[in-house]
């Protein structure tokens, strides 16, 4: 299984070991959730609705009131970027002003910011929208803004929640291509998604959560063993066997 023990010396960009976490101390929403993301690794966080994926992500982000456990960031800068399922933006800022604000918050120099931001806008075909307000964008365009901000920061770990919702095929391809480049740089990715066929194709390992606990984790071969399925079983088939 894919895991981490202190003292093993294994390099990571994200390591979590949560005994319990929830919105009230007496009512934990997740239990015994442990995972590790290595540099350059893409880990799929899989599970049905209400299984605990969102609580796990919120725990990583420090948004859960009660946590018995630990979350550790690795990498050179110990910087993460979070891409939410529902885009979040300021009503009175243009697309370009959103990017400038993010760059300023993370201390990115102006010369570096401008070239990188323009490159990302061109990649996602939003250059003509740079001075427009995201309030008037489609859901897909708003999602592209979230992705551009994340890629602009060049973090050690990307935490991505349902990134494919609203993206057209070209934008999905752009997103996956940039992820590959970031992984080659050494960034890790923790991706929560219901798009299991894509997850099976792009993820190196998986953490499958059901009813608040991890029921399988590791490579697809290990998940097949945990699910009691054949060597050629799909992630979809394993998902249904375990949930």
Total count of residues recorded for the chain: 243
- For a pLDDT cut of 90, what percent of the chain falls above it? 86
When pLDDT is cut at 50, 70 and 90, the band that residue 223 belongs to is very high
Q: Does 10 or 221 have the greater pLDDT score?
A: 221
Of 9, 13, 47, nearest to 162 by C-alpha is 47
pTM, full prediction: 0.92
Q: Does 212 or 25 have the greater pLDDT score?
A: 212
Mean pLDDT along residues 41-60: 95
To the nearest 10 degrees (0 to 180), the angle between helices 139-153 and 110-123 is 140
The pLDDT, as a whole number, for residue 25 is: 81
Pairing of strands 213-218, 205-210: antiparallel
When pLDDT is cut at 50, 70 and 90, the band that residue 233 belongs to is very high
CATH number of this structure's domain 1-79+159-243: 3.40.50.300
pLDDT at position 1 over 80: no
Q: Does 6 or 213 have the greater pLDDT score?
A: 213
pLDDT at position 111 over 90: no
- For a pLDDT cut of 70, what percent of the chain falls above it? 96
Name the H helices within the chain.
53-60, 95-105, 110-123, 139-153, 169-185, 196-202, 220-227, 235-242
The pLDDT, as a whole number, for residue 209 is: 96
pLDDT at position 113 over 50: yes
When pLDDT is cut at 50, 70 and 90, the band that residue 2 belongs to is very low
**Rg of the chain over all Cα atoms, to the nearest angstrom:** 18
The pLDDT, as a whole number, for residue 143 is: 94
Mean pLDDT along residues 92-120: 94
Distance, in Å, from the CA atom of 167 to the CA atom of 101, rounded to the nearest integer, reads 24
SS3 for 46-86 is ECCCCCCHHHHHHHHCCCCCEEEEEEEECCCCCCEEEECCC
Least confident interval from 81-85, 107-111, 154-158, 190-194: 107-111
Least confident interval from 94-103, 116-125, 162-171: 162-171
pLDDT at position 4 over 70: no
When pLDDT is cut at 50, 70 and 90, the band that residue 166 belongs to is confident
When pLDDT is cut at 50, 70 and 90, the band that residue 9 belongs to is low
Alpha-carbon distance values, 180 to 17, 157, 195, 201, 216 (Å): 27, 13, 18, 13, 25
Q: Provide φ and ψ at 237, rounded to 5°.
A: -65, -40
Tell me the domain boundaries of the chain. Answer: 1-79+159-243, 90-154
């Amino acid at each position: 299984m894919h895991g981490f023990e202190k003292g093993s010396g294994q390099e990571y960009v994200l390591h979590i070991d949560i005994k319990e976490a929830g919105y009230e101390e007496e009512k934990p929403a997740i239990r015994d959730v442990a995972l590790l993301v290595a540099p350059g690794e893409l880990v799929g966080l899989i599970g049905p609705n209400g299984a605990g994926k969102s609580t796990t992500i919120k725990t990583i982000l420090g948004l859960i009131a009660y946590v018995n456990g630990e979350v550790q960031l690795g990498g050179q800068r110990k910087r993460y970027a979070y891409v939410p399922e529902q885009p979040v933006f300021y009503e009175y800022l243009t697309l370009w002003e959103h990017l400038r604000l993010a760059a300023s918050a993370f201390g990115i120099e102006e010369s570096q910011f401008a070239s990188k931001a323009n490159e990302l806008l061109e990649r996602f075909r939003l250059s003509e929208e740079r001075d427009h307000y995201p309030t008037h964008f489609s859901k897909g365009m708003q999602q592209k803004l979230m992705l551009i901000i994340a890629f602009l920061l060049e973090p050690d770990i990307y935490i991505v929640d349902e990134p494919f919702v609203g993206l057209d095929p070209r934008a999905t391809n752009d997103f996956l291509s940039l992820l590959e480049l970031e992984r080659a740089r050494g960034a890790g990715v923790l991706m929560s998604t219901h798009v299991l066929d894509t997850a099976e194709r792009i993820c190196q390992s998986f953490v499958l959560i059901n009813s608040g606990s991890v029921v399988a984790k590791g490579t697809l071969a290990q998940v097949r063993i945990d699910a009691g399925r054949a060597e050629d079983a799909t992630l979809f088939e394993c998902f249904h066997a375990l949930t």
